[in-house]
A and B are shown apart, each in its own frame.
Chain A
Amino acid sequence: MTLHTERIYRVTIKVNDQPYEVGVGAGETLREVLRDRLGFTSVKHGCESGACGACTVILEGRAVQSCLLLAVEADGKSILTLEGLSSSDGQLHPLQRAFVESGATQCGFCTPGMIMTAKALLDEKSAPTTEEIKEAMQGNLCRCTGYIKIIEAIKSLASGR
Chain B
Amino acid sequence: MESFEYNKVSTIDEAFDLLGKYGTSAKLLAGDSDLILMMRQQAIAPSHLIDLKGIANLSSIKQVGDVLVIGTLVTLRDIEKSELIATKFPALTDGVRKVASVQLRNIATIGGNLCQAVKCPYYNQSHVNRFMKQSINPCFRRGGNECHVVNWGSDANNIIVGKSYCKAPLASDIAIVLAVLGGSVEMVSRNSSREINVADLYKYDSALKIKPGEILTQIKIPISNHVASFLVHKPSPVGYSSASVAVSLSINKETCKDIRVYLGGVAPQPYKAKKVEDHIRGQKLDEEIIEGSAQLLFKETRVTNNAMMFKIAKSRDLCREALISAWQKSQGGRK
A residues near B (Cβ < 8 Å) are 4, 6-7, 9, 25-27, 29, 48-51, 53, 56, 62-65, 68-70, 72-73, 117, 120-121, 135-136, 138-140
The CA-CA distance from A27 to B42 in the complex, in Å, is 13
- Does B192 sit within 8 A of A, measured CB to CB? no
8 new A-B contacts at CB < 8 Å, known A68-B107, A139-B103? A7-B5, A9-B6, A26-B49, A27-B2, A27-B3, A73-B51, A73-B53, A139-B101
The CA-CA distance from A63 to B101 in the complex, in Å, is 10
Q: Nearest chain A CB to B306's CB is how many angstroms away? A: 28
Q: Nearest chain B CB to A125's CB is how many angstroms away? A: 11
CB <8 Å contact, B101 and A6: no
Contact residues of A: prevailing secondary structure: mixed
Our pick among A4, A26, A64, A72 for the contact of B106 (Cβ within 8 Å) is: A64
CB <8 Å contact, A68 and B37: yes
Q: Which chain B positions have C-beta within 8 A of A4?
A: 3
CB <8 Å contact, B36 and A68: yes
- Does B77 sit within 8 A of A, measured CB to CB? yes
- Does B313 sit within 8 A of A, measured CB to CB? no
Q: Give a binary string over B256-289; 1 marks a CB under 8 Å from any A CB, 0 the rest.
A: 0000000000000000000000000000000000
Q: How many residues of B contact A (CB 8 A)?
A: 30
Q: What are 24 A-to-B residue pairs whose CB atoms are below 8 Å?
A: A7-B5, A9-B6, A26-B6, A27-B1, A27-B4, A49-B37, A50-B37, A51-B239, A53-B101, A62-B77, A68-B32, A68-B36, A68-B104, A68-B107, A69-B32, A72-B8, A73-B8, A73-B51, A117-B102, A121-B102, A136-B102, A138-B101, A139-B101, A140-B101
The CA-CA distance from A25 to B8 in the complex, in Å, is 14
Q: Which chain B positions have C-beta within 8 A of A53?
A: 101, 103
CB <8 Å contact, A63 and B102: yes
Our pick among A25, A49, A140 for the contact of B3 (Cβ within 8 Å) is: A25
- Does B237 sit within 8 A of A, measured CB to CB? yes
- Does B33 sit within 8 A of A, measured CB to CB? yes
The CA-CA distance from A29 to B237 in the complex, in Å, is 25
Q: Which chain A positions have C-beta within 8 A of B106?
A: 62-64
- Does B18 sit within 8 A of A, measured CB to CB? no
The CA-CA distance from A49 to B237 in the complex, in Å, is 16
Q: Nearest chain A CB to B47's CB is how many angstroms away? A: 10
Q: Which chain B positions have C-beta within 8 A of A121?
A: 102
CB <8 Å contact, A50 and B104: yes
Q: Which chain A positions have C-beta within 8 A of B53?
A: 73
Q: Which chain A positions have C-beta within 8 A of B88?
A: none
CB <8 Å contact, B102 and A139: yes
Known interface pairs A64-B106, A117-B102. Does A70 touch B32 (Cβ–Cβ under 8 Å)?
yes
CB <8 Å contact, A48 and B40: yes
- Does B238 sit within 8 A of A, measured CB to CB? yes
- Does B100 sit within 8 A of A, measured CB to CB? yes
The CA-CA distance from A50 to B99 in the complex, in Å, is 13
